[in-house]
Amino acid sequence: MRRMPAPAPEPATTQPRMTAFRNSLDIAKPPAATRVVAAMSGGVDSSVVAALLKREGYDVVGVTLQLYDHGAAVHRAGACCAGQDIHDARRVAETIGIRHYVLDYESRFRDAVIERFAESYLAGETPIPCVECNRTVKFRDLLDLAKELGADALATGHYVLSRDLGDGHRGLFRAADASRDQSYFLYATTQEQLDLLRFPLGHIDKAQTRALAAELGLAPSTVTEMVQKLAAQKLVSHRPYGPVSLTAAGEARAAAIIRRHRLIETWLVSDFGYAWDEVHDEAEVLEHTISDRLLAGIDARLGHPRFDPHGDAIPDAAGRVDREPFVLLGEARIGHTGRVLRVADRDPVLLRALEQARIDVGHVLTVTGRDAVRVDGIGSVSLPAGAADAVWLTA
């Protein structure tokens, strides 16, 4: 049998092997041909996502979910700025020039999240409403809408990463900024949902997001606009170039907002074991969704607390606040002994340092020097940087 000669080798080439083009969202289309639904809450994170995608040339459609009865919420104690999120999202969409839709998901949110949350809590469990909301209303229903709109992706402002796994699917990974990572709240995301989801902020931190917001011209509502809205609701008295003061109705509304927020913070620490540097952001999410009835139940379950975990007074149902004479730690004389009344909650790093130093609300301290105190039952402690201006003692 005659053997056939081996085929000649292909000529060598210096040209690189061509790979399929993929845009910044890892989709094999030019941005202009890629439709993206941007979930817009009205906050800076989702606003930056929508603006970045628009700037890169994507076909962006903004969607905001109305999760509560706007008319009722505006008149409910503790919801002064209800609806502001929708207004802010609409304003951003107009600024960057994209279509924007508001979807009434109130009944879906109530059925899938609020009622399940209340039932679970009353049964003695520890539900996390954000996980359930992401799993159902935000991702299941919103992804269905994105598909109906012919979208190639749904983008959100979550701080989390997703990557191509090489098998046609995507995986969920922790954000580059560990302090903002939200992967835990997305653990119930399905593979089908994850394949369509994109998280443009997962590789940056909050400071970079704020810088991008400034660069993109996404300024928040001006103080004048906010004052005018509050004046129209008769919550403040104001005249141009003059002072702004709360009306009686404004004081009552402010007390109700503070009461709602601080009760939720106390509840998160008491029943869920949140650290005191974690509760503020979580309470801000929950305070707009928890009903007055559930809030009253939380108050009763906690024994009608007078102070939150940071020592801030909780107004009672009538708006009354317990007050006690105090002195700032940095202004207390050496030798002064007092009980810690309050700790400022503005700096999570300082809160953690104070906790490690055992300087907690209710503890009795004696000032022994400019940067040192003696804690009853513990001993001498060096004050963390910033503590002198963040801790209040009984006078």
Instruction: Tell me the average pLDDT across 300-325.
Output: 85
Q: Band of the pLDDT at 169, cuts 50, 70, 90?
A: very high
Q: Is the pLDDT of residue 93 over 60?
A: yes
Q: Retrieve residue 124's tokens.
A: 């003695």
CB atoms within 10 A of CB 111: 12
Instruction: Tell me the average pLDDT across 209-235.
Output: 75
Write out pLDDT tens, residues 70-82: 444 444 444 434 4
Q: Retrieve residue 21's tokens.
A: 């083009």
C-alpha 307: how far from its chain's center? 23
Three-class DSSP category at 369 = strand
Residue-range domains of the chain with CATH: 31-215 (3.40.50.620), 224-301 (1.10.10.10), 326-394 (2.30.30.90)
Three-class DSSP category at 89 = helix
Average pLDDT, the chain: 80
Q: Is the pLDDT of residue 126 over 70?
A: no
End-to-end CA distance of the chain: 109
Instruction: Tell me the average pLDDT across 124-136.
Output: 66
Cβ 266 vs Cβ 314: under 8 Å:
yes
Instruction: Tell me the average pLDDT across 128-134.
Output: 67
Residue from 390, 320, 311 nearest 351 by CA? 390
**pLDDT at position 14:** 39
Euclidean distance between CA atoms 155 and 143, whole angstroms: 10
CA–CA–CA angle 266, 270, 271 (5° rounding): 115
Residue from 370, 277, 360 nearest 330 by CA? 370
Residue from 314, 395, 311 nearest 354 by CA? 311
Q: Band of the pLDDT at 97, cuts 50, 70, 90?
A: very high
**pLDDT at position 324:** 79
Cβ 292 vs Cβ 257: under 8 Å:
no
The larger pLDDT score, comparing residue 79 to residue 391, is at 391
Q: Is the pLDDT of residue 60 over 80?
A: yes
The larger pLDDT score, comparing residue 51 to residue 293, is at 51
Q: Band of the pLDDT at 35, cuts 50, 70, 90?
A: very high
Residue from 37, 141, 25, 47 nearest 94 by CA? 47
E runs forming strands in 29-144: 35-39, 59-66, 99-104
Instruction: Tell me the average pLDDT across 341-350.
Output: 81
Q: Is the pLDDT of residue 57 over 90?
A: yes
